[in-house]
């Protein structure tokens, strides 16, 4: 007879099935994160101190240039998350009422940016947003202003990030809306509730878990994105991810790159935790 855990009564052999996943998690997540944190506490050619210490973080937060990079990263992430939620929720709401064939075809079309990858998306937007591109040139010829320059701006970064993160948000909210029983909606209608009341009293509260998940996904993807800020923002609109790459590729300063990466990870974790705690009381 297999030995059982005294706490749960589950055979010990059951936990062996988790061993491969735990090993992979430790090797590919815990070990690299631990190494990154240790490297961020080490002295380097830019900041000399008796390590390990927090001097690298003090240096980053003590320079207005790096603080501006942090603020820009958070601003772009929040704006991206807000836009995709405003655009994605109505799209998901419409998708849930479509037939299986039509809805399936639209979902496949919606996931096309995910299948192509962020690099292809960004290259397409670089062509569209260029000064002589098919988006700007007709507007200038019509006398609607210009010449406009969108490449190298935060607006261009947000456009690329919205395009890539929107499918994740729509699919997450769509899954949440599909789980709402039709009986609840029909019951509300039978009691005299109008369309607006049904949405406000039934659909919206029950879809909040999906909205919460979609918000976290959108913010996380935007904050950790590299391709869109690098190609659409350029060297004048650095975010924390492109700053990490600059430390590594331009100055070969792995310690400062690790410090910037830890700052990004810590701030993302703190914001997600506080946001989850703030809205959890509204989630049923």
Query: What is the rounded average pLDDT of the residues 190-216?
Result: 87
Rounded-to-integer distance, Cα 249 and Cα 257, Å = 10
CA distances to 67, 169, 179, 231, 262 from 61, rounded to whole Å, are: 6, 32, 45, 26, 13
The residue with tokens 């399936």 is 104
Q: CA angle at residue 24 from 23 to 25, to 5 degrees?
A: 90
| pLDDT number for residue 8 | 57
DSSP state of 280: G
pLDDT 10s digits, 31-76: 999 999 999 999 988 888 887 889 999 999 999 999 999 999 999 9
| pLDDT number for residue 134 | 75
Residue 4: φ, ψ to 5°: -120, 150
Rounded-to-integer distance, Cα 135 and Cα 113, Å = 20
Q: pLDDT over 90 for what percent of the chain?
A: 46
Nearest to 270 by CA among 223, 203, 233: 223
Rounded-to-integer distance, Cα 93 and Cα 70, Å = 34
CB 75 within 8 Å of CB 233 = no
CA distances to 55, 62, 90, 191, 209 from 67, rounded to whole Å, are: 15, 8, 36, 55, 33
Buried b (16+ CB within 10 A) or exposed e, 164-182: bbbbbbbbbbbbbbeebee
| 12 or 8, higher pLDDT | 12
Q: Cis before residue 147, ω within 30 degrees of 0?
A: yes
pLDDT band at 234 (very low <50, low <70, confident <90, very high): confident
| pLDDT number for residue 173 | 93
Asked if pLDDT for residue 190 goes beyond 90, the answer is no
Nearest to 73 by CA among 161, 201, 200: 161
Q: pLDDT over 70 for what percent of the chain?
A: 93
CB 272 within 8 Å of CB 220 = yes
User: For the chain, first and last CA: distance in Å?
Assistant: 43
Q: Cis before residue 212, ω within 30 degrees of 0?
A: no
pLDDT band at 97 (very low <50, low <70, confident <90, very high): confident
* CATH architecture assigned to 64-282: Orthogonal Bundle (1.10)
CB 270 within 8 Å of CB 279 = no
Asked if pLDDT for residue 7 goes beyond 60, the answer is no
DSSP state of 281: G
Rounded-to-integer distance, Cα 252 and Cα 245, Å = 9
| pLDDT number for residue 130 | 80
Q: Whole-number mean pLDDT of the chain?
A: 86
Length of the chain: 284
């Amino acid at each position: 007879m297999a030995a059982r855990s005294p706490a749960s009564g589950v055979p010990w052999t059951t936990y062996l099935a988790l061993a491969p996943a735990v090993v992979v998690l430790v090797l590919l997540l815990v070990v690299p994160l631990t190494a990154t944190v240790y490297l961020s506490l080490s002295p380097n050619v830019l900041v000399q101190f008796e390590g390990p210490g927090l001097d690298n973080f003090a240096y980053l937060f003590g320079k207005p240039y790096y603080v501006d990079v942090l603020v820009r990263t958070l601003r772009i992430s929040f704006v991206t998350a807000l836009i995709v939620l405003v655009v994605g929720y109505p799209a998901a709401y419409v998708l849930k009422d479509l037939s299986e064939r039509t809805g399936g075809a639209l979902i496949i079309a919606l996931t096309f940016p995910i299948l192509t990858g962020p690099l292809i998306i960004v290259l397409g937007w670089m062509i569209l947003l260029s000064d002589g591109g098919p988006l700007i040139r007709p507007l200038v010829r019509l006398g609607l202003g210009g010449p406009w320059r969108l490449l190298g701006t935060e607006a261009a970064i947000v456009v690329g990030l919205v395009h890539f993160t929107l499918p994740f948000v729509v699919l997450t909210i769509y899954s949440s809306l599909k789980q709402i029983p039709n009986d609840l909606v029909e019951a509300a209608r039978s009691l005299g509730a109008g369309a607006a009341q049904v949405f406000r009293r039934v659909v919206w509260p029950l879809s909040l878990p999906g909205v919460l998940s979609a918000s976290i996904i959108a913010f996380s993807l935007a904050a950790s994105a590299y391709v869109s800020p690098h190609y659409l923002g350029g060297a004048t609109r650095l975010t924390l991810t492109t700053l990490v790459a600059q430390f590594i590729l331009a100055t070969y300063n792995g310690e400062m790159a690790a410090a910037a990466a830890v700052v990004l990870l810590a701030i993302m974790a703190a914001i997600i935790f506080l946001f989850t705690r703030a809205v959890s009381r509204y989630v049923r």
